[in-house]
Amino acid sequence: MTSLSQELSEVREILSGVTAELHPALSEFIKDEIRRHTSMRLGAIVLAAAFPAEDSPTQREKRVNLAAALELLTVALEIHKLLLLSAGARDSVDRALAGGTVLAGDYCFSRAAALAARTEHPQVIAIFAELLQQLSEGNLRRLFAETDEPFNEEEVLYRSATHAGTTLAGLPEPQIAATLAWISDGQNRVEGSDLVVFQRGRWGEIMRNS
């Protein structure tokens, strides 16, 4: 059985290899964004939530790919936000640079979806697709000020990562709901919680490293 830290290292390896087939300039741009992305908390949440009662190399590979998918998704979001930051100086933004930023973000989105598909789990893939829709709609509403309700991107990511992970682990619905409730409540404690026993070690490690 591999440890959480070992699996996070595998996630980092996947992220470092996603740009291998790209033009050097675009590849380096994405690599820079990945290097800035150091917390790996979302990936750790997936690796904890997706840890099954009986582990196997196949299960490990699937949860590592899912963790990499969520981490790469956040990189894609950050890349696209670079365009919003430059919106106030639109006339001075180089069109080639803007176009490259869009391409880089879109590439990361597509690679993230491909990694999620490697789980070969229809429900997990559906959760990931729904997450993409939530993020797109939420950020568009925020951008165009269509609602006064704040859009908490981090909360949406954490809940979807937990939902996808627990689904991949094959947890029953009551245990999935309990884990989602624990995430929503701020992850205050592990012992005495309703978390499944075989995942508590990983959740505890995440809390200690927060």
% of the chain with per-residue pLDDT over 70 = 88
Least confident of 18-32, 79-93, 154-168: 79-93
User: Is residue 87 over pLDDT 70?
Assistant: no
Q: How many residues does the chain have?
A: 210
Per residue in 115-169, pLDDT (tens digit) is 999 999 999 999 999 999 999 888 777 767 656 667 788 999 999 999 999 999 9
Model pTM? 0.89
Q: How confident is the model at residue 83 (pLDDT cuts 50, 70, 90)?
A: low
User: Is residue 31 over pLDDT 90?
Assistant: no
How high is the mean pLDDT of the chain? 87
Per residue in 100-109, pLDDT (tens digit) is 677 888 889 9
For residue 87, give the DSSP letter.
G
- Rounded Cα distance between 34 and 163, Å, is 24
Which pLDDT score is estimated for 118?
Answer: 98
113 in Cβ contact with 76 (< 8 Å): no
- Rounded Cα distance between 204 and 198, Å, is 11
Helices within 50-121 (DSSP H only): 57-85, 95-117
Instruction: Report all structural domains of the chain as residue ranges with CATH numbers, in order of start.
Output: 4-208 (1.10.600.10)
